[in-house]
Every structure is written in C-alpha cells, then in structure tokens.
Amino acid sequence: MRYIIYIVLYNITGPMTSCPNITFSSCLYQLKNRHGIDKHLEWFRDFIKVVNRFYLVIYTGENEYPVLQNEIDTIGEEDTRNKIKLIVKPFTDFQNYKHERFWRSNNERSENILRDVADWRLSMLWCEKTHFVSETIEKRYFDTEYYGWCDIGYFRDSLSTSVYRDTIRHAWPNPITIKRLHKDKIYYGCNVQPKHMGKSTRWMARHFHPSNIDSTTGIPRDLYRPDAHYFSGGFYITGREKAIWWNDTFQCALEKYINAGAFMKDDQHIISYCIFTGSRDEDFRIIYSSDNTSIGNSWFLFRDFLLQRASE
C-alpha cells in the first residue's frame, strides 16, 4: 500500500512538493480527429514535463504504449517519472464499447458536425473519461484525496513558452487551492463568454426543463443543437467518493440517450444534461470566466483558477 504524507505549502514559489494530493487521469489514443496524432504527441511531451504537484495516470492502447513510455523514460527528473503511470487499455475493454452500434450510428448522423473529421470511437472515448477516473481510484494507482480528469491537450501550445511552462511545473495546481475545494462537489468550467451567457443559459434551461423531458425516454423531446456548448469536458476535479458517484450518474444519463437512439453530440452534452436536470448547486461548482479576470480562454479556465488561492 502507498502511504502519502500530505504537505501544505503556504508559498507557491517555495520548495516543490514530493507528495501531491491530487491525481489526474488522461489518455492518448491514435484516432482520426481534427488535430492529428503528431499534435497530440507534441502536447503529450510538453504535459508530462510539468508533472510535479500532481500525479498523472494516462490510458492508452497497445500500439501507442511503447512510444509514450519511451517519452516518459527520457524525462530527466526521476521524481517526475515516478508520478506518472501509463496504463494499456484497449477500446474493447471500455465500459461503453458494448454500445458500438450506437457510436457508429451516432457518428454518421447528419447532425454530427465532426462525422467527416473524426473516428466513431472518439465520441466513445470522450464518454469514457469518468470510467478512467474511477479505475484510477479503485485500483489505487496513486492514493490521494482529490481526483479528476485533464485532457492531454488541456494546456495546448501554451507550454512551449518556457516561462509559462516553469510556472505550471512549480506552482500548478496550488496545493492551498486544492485543499480548499469541496470534496463533495464536482468542479467544471463554463466555456461560454460573458457576453453570450444570458442567451446560452436560457436555451439550456429551456431545453432541459422538466416540461421538455419525455416521460418515456427521460431525455428532451427536441434535438440538442449541434453547435451547442456550455461546460468544458476536458477538465474536472472532485473528491474520491464524489468521483465514483459522478461516474454512475454520468453513465446513467448517457444510457438514456443510447437506449432512445437519440443524437448525442459529445460528453459535454451529457454533462449539461446532468447539471441542468439534476441538483446543480448541491453536486456541482461551476467556474466562470468572471471568476478570474486574467483568464484569456474560457475553454481552459482551470489553468489559471488552480494557480490562485481560491476561497473555496
């Protein structure tokens, strides 16, 4: 069993912590997508080099494993290498692979704006994130109080700048911020710009309103807009027990769409369903652009938010 000594650092510019209190899960599979595998490998190389104040579990396929493991092995800092674990998990072992027929059909729908640029397995992969996090917890790859998901490309090309890369490595996430997060809430970012917030919120509230939910299928009667977005699916953070609850809750909602044969845009679609039809204030904490005026990209709010000394 791994024993963790939790150390609270009150100066984020001080010594680096060797025992983080947060474990992120992520993944990298070679699939047809908008960015291409070379760009994802570039993001992967940059991302693993800033692992310091968090543990990282990366899920991948058998073919990708040798390349990714070699990249990890060539990192100079042994402490960084020890905080990363690479797990081989083929698509056929995914919890939602049993719904292959749905994923293939969903990918071919005219409403799917990614059908010509993405593999059908990509949508399945997006909806496997909560299962990855649950496996990380249940198999105790790293034993921490907080867990979450962070896309391999969450920092995108920002880590190519040495000053910002050093800041992330030495200060992200701020352990004081992590310690003050509520372990019984799931933290997501809202990717809607403030000037569009009213219009987007009204549409989501109407679409997921109880009066618009079909009593037989349990999902909205009208089609989810192909261009709709509200919550970013590339990052979330919560406590250990809540992460297990979130996996069950997300999967239950997803299967409503699968059973109804309804169009499912992406994991963000299911996240919106859960938050707007559920107990939003009780189970979730939403981070908005206005929570940090220095944030430049509303799709990646936790880059800056977790550098702050948050009040909760």
In a domain, 267, yes or no: yes
**Is the predicted pLDDT of residue 250 greater than 70, yes or no?**
yes
Q: Choose from 46-50, 106-110, 209-213, 222-226 the range with maximum mean pLDDT.
A: 209-213
- What does the pLDDT read at residue 158? 82
pLDDT value of residue 296: 58
As a whole number of angstroms, the distance between CA 104 and CA 1 comes to 41
Residue 12 domain-assigned?
A: no
Q: Which of 34-38, 109-113, 120-124 has the lowest mean pLDDT?
A: 109-113
Per-residue pLDDT averaged across 168-197, rounded?
Answer: 93
pLDDT of residue 193: 86
Whole-number pLDDT of residue 203: 94
Considering its fold, how many domains does the chain have in total?
A: 1
The answer to whether residue 107 sits within a structural domain is yes
| pLDDT at 309 (0 to 100) | 57
Instruction: Between 6 and 111, name the one with better pLDDT.
Output: 111
Peptide bond into 173 cis (omega under 30): yes
User: What is the per-residue burial (b if ≥16 Cβ within 10 Å, else e) of 81-120?
Assistant: eebbbbbebeeeebbbeebeebbeebbeeeebebeeebbb
Show the domain range for 71.
Answer: 22-305
CATH number at residue 54: 3.90.550.10
Residue 47, domain member (yes or no):
yes
- 243 belongs to a structural domain: yes
User: Looking at the domain assignment, is residue 91 inside a domain?
Assistant: yes
For the cut 80, the answer to whether the pLDDT of residue 9 exceeds it is no
In the prediction, which pLDDT does 294 show?
A: 46
Write out pLDDT tens, residues 103-113.
999 988 877 76
Q: Establish if 115 belongs to a structural domain.
A: yes
Is residue 172 domain-resident? yes
What secondary structure letter does DSSP report for 181? Answer: S
pLDDT-based confidence at residue 6 (cuts at 50, 70, 90): very low
